Amino acid sequence: MTHTDIQAVDDANRAFYEALERGDFEELTSLWLAPEDVAYAEDADPDDAEDTSISCVHPGWPVLTGRGEVLRSYALIMANTEYIQFFLTDLHISVVADTALVTCTENILSGGPAPEGGEELGPLVGQRVVATNVFRRTRDGWKLWSHHASPVLAESEDESDLDAEIDRRLDEGPGGGIGGIDGNLGDDGSPA
């Protein structure tokens, strides 16, 4: 591993999040490992192409496998996201030979389209998510082989949040809205 490797992996990881922020689907597509990337690797057999599938887990989702499923999920997310920004913290990069393992905390600020189709942005939501991203070195730079992101639930806090939400609903009576699992950002802004 060299400083150059670390830098190149860091760049590839940032490019991934920047493509999401810009909603740049074409760029995002080019950052994920494709069968031809693996066939180019010196020690790979072209017959292996089908067994090197990419995989992706969005927070709270089941596993998506293969370029079709993974890229469709991003198209769907982009269509439903008006605004998204990632503040990456706790970045850690390990490299062994041609594989890199990146872990980071994604402090996310996002907003959907305006609820009534108006011109304003939907409500902004803060989320603290942790990610493990696996990259492979290819002729064309480091490409994403796997992305797994999950919510940081901070269990005991969530149970009290849930209790508070239930108390609020009990006070309010039927018909109150429910927030889902978010709002972790800004509790303290730092990793647990």
| Site residues for a copy of itself per CB under 8 A | 1, 6, 38, 41, 43-45, 48, 51-53, 55, 57, 59-63, 65, 90, 92-99, 101, 103-105, 130, 132, 134, 136, 145-146, 148-155, 158-159, 162-163, 165-166, 169-170, 178, 180-181, 191-192
Q: What does the DSSP 8-state code read for residue 163?
A: H
Instruction: Report CA-CA distances (Å) from 43 to 51, 134, 139, 156.
Output: 15, 19, 13, 48
Closest approach, Cβ 54 to a copy of itself, in A, equals 8
Q: Looking at beta carbons only, is 19 or 57 nearer to a copy of itself?
A: 57
Closest approach, Cβ 163 to a copy of itself, in A, equals 6
User: If you count them, how many residues does the chain have?
Assistant: 192
Closest approach, Cβ 87 to a copy of itself, in A, equals 15
DSSP H or E stretch at residue 22: helix 3-22
Closest approach, Cβ 88 to a copy of itself, in A, equals 12
Using the CB atoms, write b or e for 172-181: b if 16+ within 10 Å: eeeeeeeeee
Residue among 166, 20, 136, 128 at smallest CA distance from 81: 20
Q: Looking at beta carbons only, is 28 or 37 nearer to a copy of itself?
A: 37
